[in-house]
Every structure is written in structure tokens, then in C-alpha cells.
Structure 1
Amino acid sequence: MTQSVPPIRSLLAGVTKDDIRRDPFPHVVIRDALPRDLYDALSASMPTAEYIGTRIGKEITSNERYNYMSEHILQDEAMARVWKDFVTYHASPEFYAEFLDLFQEDLLANLPDAEKQCGPLRELRVGRRNRDGFETHDILMDCTAVINSAVTGRPSAYRGPHVDKPHKLFGGLFYMRQTQDDADGGDLVLYKYREGAHKFTTSASEYGDNRFDIDPKYVEEVTTVPYRSNTLVMYPINPLALHGVSVRSLTPHQRRFVALVGDLQNPLFDLAL
């Protein structure tokens, strides 16, 4: 008998501008973002670090990140139908429109020249990363199943304070913590700049691009969003959107989440400060 697939519901369904928090930068934190039956179906069939690592050719090491992008999921016959439907919607023009309904005013308030650089936000041609290209599309969406592997050897943080790449329009994290995960840490920390000069550093990353990290001495913690199951964090990207991941304790458990992104061809701001 074919197992029924729960209907897909947007992570932003029912989220309004009243939910936006603006300290230290505009973002939403939504608990119980999905109905329980849909969340449980996704959680039960989420790939592991070992599964992803085998398919993308990446060795398993301590507290490393393993990405299974929407195109990987859609082309994998073994992946559950609920995942295929979920990533298809959350990398679609419809989801992009939901993001704009929620955050367009805040995005343009922090990046007033954005539409001069990339064109009217409502008119951008939406494609999917690893399927489409910038020759025919203006923004490439993705909805990626992500695992941070078990922490061995010593406690560690996957990544400290940083701003996401300036060619990304938004970032989203949907946490899928397992019930048995009793590790400490792995929370999302939001920062603001300390007074005075500060400087970003760039370093090579697995994506063949630059990542923009900032020494902790230049920032101070404002708030922490706990790593909890069925919790969405989403925000427009700008130079103020400083965030990082807190240190995780030694643990055999994997840290699981979905990453939501929208890539532009060119950066919207300069972090060479």
C-alpha cells in the first residue's frame, strides 16, 4: 500500500509582519512552523550525514556540514515524496513571493539601493539552484537538507560570527532537532557590532566562494535562538545580519536543519570594511 503524503504547507504560512523582531536585525523565529504530521514525516525520512556524504563524496569528520540540495533530493529515487514536494515548494516563485510579502520593506530599509542593483524585487525571474542559471533567471532559490555531523574529540562551533555572502537575498534555517539529541549548544547566536572599527576576513570555502567572518572581539551577543525542533528562523541578508553557531558539546547526535536561500548573480553590498 502506498503511504499517504501529508499536504505541503509553507513554512511562512500564517507568519505576519507582527512576528518580525528587529533587534539586532530583522528576523522571525517561528515555533511549530509546520503541522505535526508534516513535520514528523519529514523528520522520519531526513537523510543522515553518512547518507549525504556517500552521495556527494565527502568524508565524515567531526562537526562538519553536509548539504543535500534540492536538486540532489529531487533526483534521488530513494528520497521520500514528502521531501521532494517540500523542497519544490520552498524553492519556488510562490515561496519567494511569501518572503517579499513579509520582509520587502525591511530589506529595502537596510539596502535602499537593492532594486537599482538587481531590478524590482517583485519582477525577478525565479529559478532553482543547480537546475537554472543566471542567463535566464535573476534569483536562484534552494531548499537544502543539512546535517552537522557528530562532535568528536573536543567541543566545537561549526561557525562563529559572520554575515552571509552579499549575493544572497535572504537566509532561512528550519531546525529539525531529534528527540534523543541531548547535546548542549548548537544554538543560533545573533550579534551586533561593538563601537569602533571592525574588519571582516575572507577565507576559501567548500563552495568555491568567499565567506565573510568577523573576529568575535568586534561583536557582542544580543540574543540566542535555541536549536529546537520544528522551529524556523528567517531574515533578509544585509551587513547588520551578524550571526553564528554556539559551541556544541561532544555528542554522537547529528544537528539537523533545512537551509533556505536565494542567490543573486551580483552582491548587494560590500563587506570589505
Structure 2
Amino acid sequence: MNDIGFLPPPTARRLVLRRHGLYAAQPAPYASLQSRPCLLEDHYAELAASFPRLDQFAPGAEALDNRVLRIASSRVIAEPGFSGAWRWFVQQHTSQAFWEQIVREFGGQIQARYPGLEQRFGKPMQDWRAVRRGSGEVGEVTLECQIVVNTPVRTASSVKAPHVDHVRKLWTGLLYFRSPEDDTPGGELQLFSSPPGLRFDAHQASRREVTLDRSLAYQPNSFIGFVNGPDAIHAVAPRPPTPQVRRYVDFVVELAEPVFKLPQMNPLRRGWYRLRERQASR
């Protein structure tokens, strides 16, 4: 019996970074690791069949227009209403073993991008202690595995304009759970290259100043993972009005302090961006 009180899973269940020869490294516009399919078919089907209902994310969620709603791993583990497959999945993807797999696959990229990071903690990454967000424990890195939806769309829009993730986030992974009934166009993950000297409004970048380099289709059982940083600019392609929900899992590795800094727009440029572009992204 494991530490959250349910039986171990069948051997067919795997972590998203367990090697089985189906990963592709993509160097541009920034390094990422992609896989489709990611999970074994039976494991993916088990999770997809018990993906949380929209009303489990928030009351009245079906009335919201293309909004991001999340269910934290701590809630999946602690509350009734989530399947054993999902409880196992979020526990395993917030574990020390998963952190060790991230180091195995991305450690070289992390060291190259942040060469002083290990010195900051006084130990190599593989020796860092990983803890689950919300556990109350303390470690060098905090892991989260949250179940996410983008609600139905009433007005054509992008749920996420070009941006980089929070400056405390070291690594990001995404695994898509597109419904078989969803034939809505759009929703793919867009990866952008950026010019030297790009400046941000908080974490957002002007779409006019970045260049779309590559897209990852919103397809079932598709995974992408990448090291976060000022160049890791991404967005979600707009979706037209649709009753369909965009479904995925968001894997997070974060530190207690910022990993990097983002140069910010000056007040005049920020005001122009918010007036002309940021409001139009919704």
C-alpha cells in the first residue's frame, strides 16, 4: 500500500518521461522534448475516461468564456470524486522519482541555461529534494501536476497570448487530453522566437514583436516539455465559438526564488500594448 491509501497501479501505467523510443528532441525556437503518443494506450484511455467533469473545476464553469480552470494535485489526492488512476498519476508526477527523470532528460539543458543554479543550492540537481506543492514539506524544488481545462468559447479568442511562465518556474510539461468529440479548429500550442532586447508586460510579450516558429497540434496523448526562460515564449492558438472544453495536464517544477528576470516595457510602451494588443487577445 502506498502513502495515499490505494493499491499500486497495473504495470502498464507509466510516467510521461519514461523512455520507450517515441520522443523527439526539437532544438528551435527553444529546446523541447515532444512525444505522441506519450502514455501507453490503455493507460491514456483509463485517464481520459475518468477526466474530471467541468463542474468539478468550478461552479458554473460551463458559462465562462474561454477561461483557464485548474485542479491542484493536493485536491485530487485528498478529495473524493477523482478516480484511482488520476490519484496515482498526480502522486507519481509530484514524486522524487519524477524529478530524477526530469534531471535525466533535461539536466543538461538546465545547466546550460542556468550554470550557477547548482552552486546556489550547494549540491547537484540529482540530489535536490522534490516536494509536492501544498504538502507542507520543504525541498529545493516544488512539483505540481494539475488537471486543467479551458472552458467553452463564446467569442473567438486565445486563452493564452504570447508569454513566458512565471519566473520561479524552472520546467514546464503539458499532456493533452483532447476529447474524441472535439473537432474545433485551433487550440494548438504555439512556440515563438524572439528578437534581442525584447521587453515584457509582466510575463506577456507583444505578438507583433515575436515570430511564430512552430506549433504543437492539440491532439490526444501529445506531450511537450521544456525548460522555462526568457526565450520560452508560447501561446495557445485562438479557438472559435465552441461548446467543447480544451483538456490537458500541466506539470510544473518551480523554485522558491526567481530563476531568471524579465526585462519590462517602459510605462509608455506598456500603456500602448495594453490598449492596442493585450485587450484584443481576449
Instruction: Say yes or no: TM over 0.5.
Output: yes
Q: 2:105 aligns with which of 90, 95, 102?
A: 102
Q: Which has the higher contact order (CA 8 A, sep 6+)?
A: 1
CA drift at 1:259 = 0.3
Q: 1:70 aligns with which of 68, 73, 76?
A: 73
1:200 aligns with: 200
Other structure's SS at 2:58 match: helix
Q: 2:215 aligns with which of 224, 238, 241?
A: 224
The 1:59–1:265 alpha-carbon spacing in structure 2 relative to 1, beyond 3 Å, is farther
Other structure's SS at 2:144 match: strand
Other structure's SS at 1:19 match: strand
Provide structure 2 residue ranges, at least 5 long, that are not aligned to the other structure: 1-6, 265-282
Q: 2:250 aligns with which of 259, 265, 273?
A: 259
* 1:139–1:264 contact (8 Å) kept in structure 2: yes
1:40 aligns with: 45
* 1:108–1:114 contact (8 Å) kept in structure 2: yes
CA drift at 1:19 = 2.7
1:209 aligns with: none
| 1:101-120 correspondence runs (5 A) | 101-119=104-122, 120=124
Q: 2 CA distance for matches of 1:173 and 1:183?
A: 19
CA drift at 1:122 = 1.6
Q: Matched residue pairs, number?
A: 256
Provide, for residues 146-189 of structure 1, a one-character-per-residue CA deviation record: whole Å limited to 9, x for no partner: 0100001x111001111111111100000000111011111100
Q: 2 CA distance for matches of 1:162 and 1:73?
A: 28
Q: 1:249 aligns with which of 222, 240, 248?
A: 240
Structure with more strand by fraction: 1
Provide structure 1 residue ranges, at least 5 long, that are not aligned to the other structure: 203-211
Other structure's SS at 1:260 match: strand
Provide, for residues 188-207 of structure 1, a one-character-per-residue CA deviation record: whole Å limited to 9, x for no partner: 0000113x5321012xxxxx
2:141 aligns with: 139
CA drift at 1:43 = 0.5
Q: 1 CA distance for matches of 2:63 and 2:240?
A: 18
Aligned partner of 1:234: which letter? G
CA drift at 1:59 = 8.2
Q: 1:82 aligns with which of 73, 81, 85?
A: 85
The 1:75–1:264 alpha-carbon spacing in structure 2 relative to 1, beyond 3 Å, is same
Q: 2 CA distance for matches of 1:81 and 1:129?
A: 20
1:185 aligns with: 186
Q: 2:151 aligns with which of 123, 129, 149?
A: 149
* 2:131–2:141 contact (8 Å) kept in structure 1: yes
* 1:53–1:60 contact (8 Å) kept in structure 2: no
CA drift at 1:17 = 11
Q: 2:130 aligns with which of 121, 126, 130?
A: 126
Greater mean deviation of Cα atoms: 215-224 or 18-27: 18-27
2:4 aligns with: none
Whether 1:213 and 2:213 are equivalent positions in the alignment is no
The 1:18–1:131 alpha-carbon spacing in structure 2 relative to 1, beyond 3 Å, is closer
* 1:117–1:268 contact (8 Å) kept in structure 2: no
